[in-house]
Structure 1
């Protein structure tokens, strides 16, 4: 009996090791998770490959840190400058573009700073001069990095020291909800805004007021974590995932993913 228990224990350990080897861990931004895109794609991936796919959704800055700490096999993020630095420092193998959307500035219909239809820099200047509430994620996410770059481009000093500038330290949906409660402005990627909008059956309290500038383009890319710094990373699974995400089938699946009849992401793998 004791011998059988030992054999069973060995078999269970072997099964667990095999399961771990067939499990891919991804670190990603909150927008890919909040929008429901990953939940939509997960069963397709597991059916196509037999690989168990798990992910941690956080800001892009933290996702890059997870990669540096060898706590992920692959990243799906949206902060190109930080991604290129990450690769140049030897943490990532390459950067593969897979899809995009754009950033928008949203606010209450009353639009107290009168930013509707303005260029991004002019809109931020109007908020700054009016002292209207602006709610920032403040979490080093890709969205937060972009927002900071826009304030800098507008040459607006000490905006983050003003009483009207609020930082949540939270994800995009939570930040949108806080901006709603405060009747303030915020910046979001369009995909997450559509998800937020769908929570109100299309009649969201915050409306898109600024959109369309080229500077608001929002690229999402895959980065496999490098073996040189993380020898235990599952490179083979990361490569399979990259090939799968950039395949014609899954690029079409991304294009087909909609809420309120609107596309949340546009595939653009090359």
Structure 2
């Protein structure tokens, strides 16, 4: 049963005014007056001019965008440039591509190939290149009310069990355990799209009428969504970067039931869990930029083995690498 203290905590969580940002993300950065979530200077306190604007959600919250920005500024200064600023605009894939189309950002780091190709076709974007790979993880409460098996179940088996047990618990609410519930960000993010694809693959649309009460619509950014699932003892689809960037009091209340891995000689069957749960991130260069030379140079640097790909390989939390370089695709 859910205790009163949990309910009160949930109320505070639901009605918080906006997405929280960790203290780590605020180091060597400051908020911008034009709507940017963070501003990075590469360690150069005399930098004043913004020359690059990047849009992204989860990799910004994990700190990877900051790592990209600071490393690129330092690289550019080493090449003879004066110090400058890079802004990060918080947004999911849909929001970031919309900002790119309006000219509010120069580069979108997004996670949906079809939407990215549509951006290129429309003229809003002029270049799309794979930047790095994240990984989707299906996580949930240790009590495991849906009886997911980490040994024998595929990810589609698990989603079938979520539907079956969610419907059963909705029909007859359990009195001796937490009911089966799935938390969806329900915000048109890449995570929401992937989760929807998995449900549709097994012939289910729990967000449609008649609405399934076990399908919890919770439109928040990645860190806040995982926090909600932890507090409410619900299953959810998250990503490796978000998991490893979350505090232990969030992740300790959850178990990873299925995770994506890069293909290898032992797990490279098309359509298997490895392929299904990969989350590639592409960089899309916009047609309207603050400084076209800088934006194009950033794209080139981002894809170079000694530039952005080196940053990806070296970006770790507690000794664990969060993302894979583009070459792993």
Give your verdict on TM over 0.5.
yes
Deviations 1:138-166 (A, max 9, x none): 11111111111111111113345211111
Give secondary structure in 2 for the equivalent of 1:112: coil
Shift of residue 202 of structure 1? 9.6
Alignment of 1:223 with 2:284, yes or no, is yes
- Normalising by structure 2, report the TM-score: 0.70
CA–CA separation in structure 2 for the residues paired with 1:116 and 1:255:
31
Shift of residue 42 of structure 1? 2.7
What does residue 164 of structure 1 align with? 214
Give secondary structure in 1 for the equivalent of 2:104: coil
Alignment of 1:186 with 2:236, yes or no, is yes
Note if contact 1:102-1:190 (Cα within 8 Å) is conserved in structure 2: yes
RMSD over aligned CA atoms reads: 2.1
Shift of residue 64 of structure 1? 0.7
What does residue 144 of structure 1 align with? 192
Note if contact 2:226-2:250 (Cα within 8 Å) is conserved in structure 1: no
Q: Which has the higher contact order (CA 8 A, sep 6+)?
A: 1
Q: Structure 1 stretch 232-241 or stretch 96-105: which is displaced more?
A: 232-241
Note if contact 1:222-1:242 (Cα within 8 Å) is conserved in structure 2: yes
Note if contact 2:183-2:217 (Cα within 8 Å) is conserved in structure 1: yes
Shift of residue 19 of structure 1? 5.5
What does residue 48 of structure 1 align with? 75
CA–CA separation in structure 2 for the residues paired with 1:51 and 1:219:
29
CA–CA separation in structure 1 for the residues paired with 2:303 and 2:73:
16
Alignment of 1:242 with 2:312, yes or no, is no
What does residue 142 of structure 2 align with? 109
Relative to its length, the structure with more helix (as a share) is 1
Of 165, 182, 191, the residue aligned with 1:134 is 182
CA–CA separation in structure 1 for the residues paired with 2:110 and 2:191:
10
Give secondary structure in 2 for the equivalent of 1:95: strand
Of 41, 66, 73, the residue aligned with 2:106 is 73
CA–CA separation in structure 2 for the residues paired with 1:58 and 1:116:
34
Shift of residue 204 of structure 1? 2.0
Note if contact 1:108-1:205 (Cα within 8 Å) is conserved in structure 2: yes
Shift of residue 101 of structure 1? 2.1
Gaps of 5+ in 2: 1-46, 77-82, 167-179, 261-272
Deviations 1:234-268 (A, max 9, x none): 32221111112112223122111111221101111
- Structure 1: which 4+ aligned runs deviate by more than 4 Å? none
Note if contact 1:104-1:210 (Cα within 8 Å) is conserved in structure 2: yes
> Relative to structure 1, is the Cα distance of residues 218 and 175 closer, same or farther in structure 2, using a 3 angstrom cutoff?
same
Q: Structure 1 stretch 149-158 or stretch 130-139: which is displaced more?
A: 149-158
- Normalising by structure 1, report the TM-score: 0.84
CA–CA separation in structure 2 for the residues paired with 1:67 and 1:78:
14
